Amino acid sequence: MYKIVKKRQLNENICLMDVEAPRCAAHCKPGQFVIVITDEGDERIPLTICDYDAAAGTVTIVFQVVGAATMRMLSLNEGDSFRDFVGPLGQPSELTAESAGDLKNKKILFVAGGLGTAPVYPQVKYLHGLGVDADVIIGAKTKDILIMEEEMKAVAGNLYITTDDGSYGRSGMVTKVIQDLYDEGQRYDLCVAIGPMIMMKFVCKLTKELGLPTIVSMNPIMVDGTGMCGACRLTVGGEVKFACVDGPEFDGFQVDFDQAMKRQNLYKTEEGRRYLTEQEKDTHHGGCGNCD
């Protein structure tokens, strides 16, 4: 059992929890994720790691209530426990493979959309610990659903907040802020964009025009988290990949977003899953290669 040692409601539908998971905390790297199961028989929920503390043995997760399983998660309080908490899973951010010296020679821009702020945070914090202050754009529909502003302020070089309705910070989509920064003379060597699929698609469309290499995280399409369900199958550079085992981060210019979004919608229904199984046959899964 994995005890919840801290619970904080970030807004009406988004919650942060610190979970006691020493072995996981000891091996976490930015960009990876965990699978959480509230109780026996409950749905497996993949969640990108928001933070981790190896000394305290805790891992921080942030989740949004979207269905029955996440509603049960929300009902848990400090002192309660999860049935299972598995991780770290997936490939860490490619930034963790670079030396501090190389990273200090790069100017990096992070773009976080909505709940994507949670997985952006550990990467920015990691860089800050190496003496690299990256710029960060956080976008939200309204001020009420903005999360982790203060935490991000503590580790970012420059933090730009924008809301779709102009209720806080700048007004407009994150792509407008990227364009504004370029118009103001800012130049970057790398962009990391994490958020809704449609946001990442249009960020990549713009950054490709600007000649700015962009990494995206495809965690929004993960379901099982092991490559066995086939939910997170996508095409990257003409090759079949699975977000949970090959990613979740990929070269954004190589991702076929239109296919991924169409497939994500199909996977939501039983009929759609049967269709995908028949169409993809023995490549439907990332792991076993079989489907009944």
Strands 170-171 and 84-89: unpaired
- The DSSP symbol for 1 reads -
| Domain match, 160 and 230 both | no
134: left (phi over 0), alpha (psi -120 to 50) or beta: beta
According to the model, what pLDDT value does residue 199 have?
Answer: 93
Interacting residues of 48 by C-beta distance below 8 A, sequence separation 6+: 31, 32, 33, 118, 119, 194, 217, 219, 248
Residue owning tokens 């809301």: 163
Q: For residues 231 and 191, state if they share a domain.
A: no
- If we measure between CA atoms, which residue out of 144, 171, 138 comes closest to residue 156? 138
Are 189 and 161 in a shared domain? yes
Please tell me whether residues 163 and 268 are part of one structural domain.
Answer: no
Query: What total of structural domains would you count in the chain?
Result: 3
Residue at a domain's end among 29, 63, 89: 89
Are 278 and 201 within one domain?
A: no
Judge if 147 and 235 occupy the same domain: no
- For residues 144 and 252, state if they share a domain: no
Domain boundary among 44, 63, 89: 89
Tell whether 160 and 142 lie within a shared domain: yes
pLDDT in single tens digits along all 292 residues of the chain: 899 999 999 988 899 999 999 999 999 999 999 999 888 877 888 898 999 999 999 999 999 888 888 889 999 999 999 999 988 998 999 999 999 999 999 999 999 998 899 999 999 999 999 999 999 999 999 998 899 999 999 999 999 999 988 989 899 999 999 999 999 999 999 999 999 999 999 999 999 999 999 999 987 656 655 555 666 778 889 888 888 888 789 999 999 888 888 776 655 566 655 645 555 555 555 543 334 4
- Domain boundary residue among 59, 89, 119? 89
Q: Which domain holds residue 272?
A: 218-292
Q: Clarify whether residues 110 and 41 are in a common domain.
A: no
